[in-house]
């Protein structure tokens, strides 16, 4: 039996990318963006990697996703897949008259995981509206150094305490 799959969103979940530099140095630069990793990011990955398969699904561009995944996961953490906007379902948002990009977790079944084996961590509940039971919502990360949201996520995932 396969291990459970833990999928992470990128922007405002694991990283904050902004065209305006914050009061501290960015973790890396992806022009025109200064990118900041969320506090406790590496600690959380170290704690969950032995228990879960890891993946990324973002509604950002393919180039952006590939670059950020390489920078933040590196060689230390195996990522089963890193999906970008082309794997999302585009839907009109009647409230904003814009688009919302839905992450339909049924698409992951082609990777050999059943829906009951999948958990996604994302700051945007509307993107996971088709499978809300698989979603752990996280507060958006806007670069705050005192952010502790990943500690709460570790507790929800029942992994060892982070520092």
Q: What is the mean pLDDT of each run of 10 residues along the chain (163 residues)?
A: 91 98 97 97 94 96 97 94 96 84 93 94 89 94 97 90 67
Pick the CATH number of 5-156 from 2.60.120.10, 3.40.50.1820, 3.30.210.10, 3.40.50.1000: 3.40.50.1000
- Cα–Cα distance for residue pair 67/117, rounded to 1 Å: 27
Residue 125: what pLDDT?
A: 84
Residue 130: what pLDDT?
A: 86
Residue 129: what pLDDT?
A: 83
Residue 2: what pLDDT?
A: 79
- Cα–Cα distance for residue pair 136/68, rounded to 1 Å: 21
- Matching residue, tokens 């704690």: 47
Residue 1: what pLDDT?
A: 57
Residue 23: what pLDDT?
A: 96
**Domain residue ranges in the chain:** 5-156
CB 56 within 8 A of CB 10: yes
Residue 161: what pLDDT?
A: 66
- Cα–Cα distance for residue pair 98/17, rounded to 1 Å: 21
């Amino acid at each position: 039996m396969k291990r459970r799959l833990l999928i992470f969103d990128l922007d405002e979940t694991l990283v904050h990318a902004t065209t305006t530099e914050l009061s501290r140095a960015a973790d890396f630069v992806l022009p025109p963006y200064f990118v900041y990793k969320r506090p406790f990011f590496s600690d959380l990955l170290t704690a969950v990697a032995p228990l879960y398969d890891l993946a990324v699904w973002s509604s950002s561009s393919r180039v952006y996703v590939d670059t950020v995944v390489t920078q933040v996961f590196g060689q230390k953490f195996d990522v089963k897949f890193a999906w970008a906007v082309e794997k999302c379902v585009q839907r009109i948002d009647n409230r904003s008259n814009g688009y919302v990009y839905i992450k339909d977790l049924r698409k992951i079944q082609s990777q050999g995981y059943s829906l009951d084996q999948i958990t996604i961590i994302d700051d945007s509940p509307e993107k996971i509206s088709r499978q809300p039971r698989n979603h752990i919502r996280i507060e958006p990360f806007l670069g705050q150094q005192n952010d502790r949201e990943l500690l709460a996520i570790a507790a929800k995932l029942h992994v060892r305490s982070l520092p």
